[in-house]
């Protein structure tokens, strides 16, 4: 009685040893590091590592180590001055084909790293950085989808000469057919070619009129595609900012969470993340006077009125030669002749062909570059919160075509070097499919993050020590066994968090503190049950065995109900709530193992199979 087999004891020891090994990396401090990774399909090799180390040696920058692994280079430094200086020199040497980011690298020994040992991943509130919650303007997504179907519908029905007019009325397309006999034919064509459209019930008695709308499934798909495309674009932009280990993920149906560890320049981050920018290349209407059109409000057919940032008007042709979607590469530089900022543009094959044909045909004519930016912001109007959408279209420059060109050319006339860099970054990363609005923003400084860690650790230690003191005073030797189980439980929580690389946040630390208090509940139930059994039966071995066996069901019920609540929190919660739920769930599972299995194994070693007169409980 009260004896575990050798195999069971060995398995318990093995679990505890593994927990110790995987919790161990957390005692090693992190090094200041610079991480060099690819900005596309670029393969990073030994040649790149050689370039970087040579630059550091030439500049006299000391580094602790430089390693190449997983298609990235990690350089470790002893101080922040060397880290920052190294980043600037490496960026200057390697150029824009690489992402150079500041990082913190764990200094785990090689043998432990080979076993898969990693330190816990710290959340933004512990590391420092910027947190954004972005909301995608789904109204614009649906509006764009309506415009696309409007154009496709016109093309389809025009080919068959079936309609008089097609009008957009909100999210409805109203088709006026030439006569009612064409209705069935038009509906058949629409059903075959545009299955996303559905016929809407209307009060109109006109048999020659059809009202179409986008189906619910098509709307849902359009919104889903918009979220996915925006996440991809935001990821590209974050890579351009040079952020190590960013978190970009969908939250709900219309929101995106962006967390940028180590970034403190929120203005720069907001400027890049929130911009919905693209370009259009159009020919200048040189036959008509822009000032006359601006004064009279009468714009010639085939042209549109645009303005420079300084207010000058210019008439441009309706036909768009190429757009931002045709741009495959962009970089900023300085025009050697005029010493002004410019952006070097690379177009895809379709855009290159269009540009070549245009420059051949319209040599010595002027071509303008239009910068288009969509914005959305929440304002209060008449006591109601409404979305205000705005679009700005500014002419960057309008230059004379001096020679033929296709896929490679330069844009000049940009106001400043910063504007040129931002424009190049946005064009490289691609434009967002719909405007986004920053609805929540938090900045945590590195010193505040360190302070949060210190206070969080202190709260765990204080709670842990107070529980240890109480249990030792209340239950004596059994209390000391419970304290050992509690210590091992804390080690196992850290080990599991490190092993699965769950992000530890301040609410996560709160979950650990709560677990420390709750973990001894099982032992308290067991010990009180043992006391009751001792009062009813003088056999001490029977009392110990009955105490563990009879308390098991109550402990399981209590922990399972708490675990269910924690899983619900994880399923429906967001951000900090999930962090709390993760540590609480892990703590519940590990506490049952240590409080029931491990503590009994220790009690068995102390009292099992021995003739004793009294228990220290």
Q: What are the pLDDT digits (tens) for 73-82?
A: 888 888 878 8
Whole-number average pLDDT of the chain: 81
Summarize the confidence of residues 278-283 as an average pLDDT.
Answer: 84
Tell me the three state secondary structure of residue 245: coil
Q: In terms of residues, how long is the chain?
A: 617
Going by DSSP bridges, is the β-strand pair 384-400/303-308 parallel, antiparallel, or unpaired?
parallel
Q: What value, to the nearest 5°, has the Cα angle with vertex 507 and ends 504 and 509?
A: 60
pLDDT greater than 80 at residue 261: no
Output the pLDDT for position 133.
87
**Residue 472: Cβ within 10 Å count:** 15
pLDDT in tens, 5-50: 888 889 989 999 999 999 988 888 777 888 887 755 567 888 888 8
pLDDT level of residue 97 (50, 70, 90 thresholds): low
Look up the pTM and report it: 0.58
Summarize the confidence of residues 206-222 as an average pLDDT.
Answer: 83
Cβ 211 vs Cβ 399: under 8 Å: no
pLDDT greater than 60 at residue 554: yes
Strands (E) in 156-202, as ranges, are 163-169, 172-177, 197-199
Q: What value, to the nearest 5°, has the Cα angle with vertex 411 and ends 409 and 414?
A: 165
pLDDT in tens, 362-386: 988 999 888 887 666 656 666 666 6
Which 8-state DSSP code applies to residue 590? H
Identify the residue whose tokens are 């062909």. 353
Which among 436, 442, 396, 401 has a CA at the least distance from the CA of 419?
396
Instruction: Out of 20-34, 90-104, 124-138, pick the least confident.
Output: 90-104
Which 8-state DSSP code applies to residue 593? I
Summarize the confidence of residues 489-509 as an average pLDDT.
Answer: 86
Q: How far apart are CA 149 and CA 214, in angstroms?
A: 9
Q: Which domains does the chain have, with CATH numbers?
A: 6-24+445-607 (1.20.1640.10), 29-107 (3.30.70.260), 139-220 (3.90.1070), 274-442 (3.30.1360.200)
C-alpha radius of gyration, the chain, whole number: 34
| Six-digit token string for 472 | 């030792």
Instruction: Out of 122-126, 300-304, 426-430, 463-467, pick the least confident.
Output: 426-430
- Count Cα neighbours of 101 within 13 Å in the Cβ-side half-sphere: 23
| Six-digit token string for 208 | 């020659």
Summarize the confidence of residues 470-478 as an average pLDDT.
Answer: 86
Which among 436, 559, 448 has a CA at the least distance from the CA of 506?
448
Summarize the confidence of residues 201-211 as an average pLDDT.
Answer: 74
Output the pLDDT for position 170.
80
Instruction: Out of 128-137, 247-256, 441-450, 452-461, pick the least confident.
Output: 441-450
The backbone torsions φ and ψ at residue 266, rounded to the nearest 5 degrees and listed phi first, read -65, -35
SS3 sequence of 546-586: HHHHHHHHHHHHHHHHHHHHHHHHHHHCCCHHHHHHHHHHH
Residue-wise DSSP of 404-454: --SSEEEE---S-HHHHHHHHHHHHH---SS-EEEEEEEEE-HHHHHHHHH
Cβ 431 vs Cβ 349: under 8 Å: no
Which among 217, 167, 205, 207 has a CA at the least distance from the CA of 187?
207
Q: At a CB cut-off of 8 Å and minimum separation 6, what does 351 contact? A: 322, 323, 326, 327, 407
pLDDT greater than 70 at residue 197: yes
Instruction: Out of 332-336, 373-377, 471-475, 581-585, pick the least confident.
Output: 373-377
Output the pLDDT for position 91.
79
Cβ 64 vs Cβ 76: under 8 Å: yes
């Amino acid at each position: 009685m009260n004896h575990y087999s050798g195999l069971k004891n060995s398995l318990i020891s093995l679990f505890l040893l593994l927990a110790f090994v995987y919790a161990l990396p957390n005692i090693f401090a992190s090094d200041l590091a610079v991480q060099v990774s690819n900005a596309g399909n670029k393969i990073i090799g030994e040649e790149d590592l050689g370039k970087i180390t040579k630059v550091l040696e030439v500049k006299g920058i000391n580094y602790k180590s430089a390693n190449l692994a997983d298609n990235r280079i990690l350089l470790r430094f002893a101080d922040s001055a060397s880290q920052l200086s190294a980043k600037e020199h490496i960026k200057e040497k390697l150029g824009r084909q690489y992402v150079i980011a500041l990082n913190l690298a764990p200094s785990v020994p090689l043998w432990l790293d080979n076993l898969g040992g990693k330190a816990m991943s710290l959340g933004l509130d512990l590391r420092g950085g910027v947190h954004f919650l972005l909301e995608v303007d789904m109204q614009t997504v649906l509006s764009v989808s309506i415009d696309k179907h409007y154009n496709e519908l016109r093309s389809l029905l025009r080919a068959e000469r079936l309609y008089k007019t097609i009008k957009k009325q909100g999210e409805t397309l109203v088709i006026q057919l030439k006569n009612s006999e064409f209705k069935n034919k038009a509906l058949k064509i629409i059903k075959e070619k545009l299955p996303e459209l559905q016929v809407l019930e209307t009060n109109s008695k006109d048999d020659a009129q059809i009202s179409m709308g986008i189906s619910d499934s098509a709307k849902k798909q359009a919104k889903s595609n918009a979220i996915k495309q925006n996440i991809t674009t935001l990821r590209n932009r974050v890579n351009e900012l040079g952020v190590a280990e960013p978190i970009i993920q969908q939250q709900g149906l219309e929101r995106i969470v962006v967390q940028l560890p180590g970034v403190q320049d929120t203005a720069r981050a907001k400027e890049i993340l929130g911009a919905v920018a693209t370009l259009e290349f159009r020919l200048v209407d040189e036959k008509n006077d822009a000032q006359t059109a601006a004064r009279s409000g009468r714009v010639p057919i085939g042209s549109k009125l645009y303005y420079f940032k300084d207010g000058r008007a210019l008439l441009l042709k309706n036909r768009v030669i190429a757009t931002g979607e045709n741009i495959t590469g962009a970089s900023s530089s300085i025009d050697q002749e005029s010493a002004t900022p410019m952006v070097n543009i690379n177009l895809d094959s379709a855009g290159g062909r269009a540009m070549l044909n245009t420059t051949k045909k319209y040599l010595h004519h002027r071509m303008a570059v239009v910068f288009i930016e969509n914005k959305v912001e929440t304002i209060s109007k008449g006591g109601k919160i409404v979305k205000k959408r705005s679009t700005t279209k500014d002419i960057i420059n309008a230059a004379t075509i001096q020679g033929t060109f296709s896929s490679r050319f330069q844009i000049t006339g940009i106001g400043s070097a910063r504007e040129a860099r931002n424009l190049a970054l946005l064009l490289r990363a691609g434009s967002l499919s719909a405007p986004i609005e920053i609805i929540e923003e938090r900045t945590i400084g590195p010193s505040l993050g360190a302070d949060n860690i210190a206070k969080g650790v202190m709260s765990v230690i204080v709670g842990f020590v107070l529980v240890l003191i109480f249990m030792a005073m209340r239950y004596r030797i059994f209390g000391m066994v419970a304290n050992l189980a509690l210590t091992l439980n804390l080690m196992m929580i850290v080990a599991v968090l490190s092993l699965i690389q769950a992000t530890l946040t301040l609410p996560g630390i709160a979950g650990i503190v709560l677990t420390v208090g709750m973990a001894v509940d099982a032992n308290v139930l067991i010990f009180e049950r043992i006391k009751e059994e001792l009062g009813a039966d003088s056999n001490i071995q029977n009392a110990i065995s009955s105490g563990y066996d009879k308390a098991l069901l109550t402990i399981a019920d209590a922990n399972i109900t708490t675990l269910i609540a924690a899983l619900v929190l994880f399923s429906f919660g967001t951000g900090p709530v999930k962090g709390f739920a993760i540590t609480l769930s892990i703590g519940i599972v590990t506490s049952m193992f240590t409080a029931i299995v491990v503590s009994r194994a220790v009690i068995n070693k102390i009292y099992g199979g021995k003739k004793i007169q009294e228990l220290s409980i």
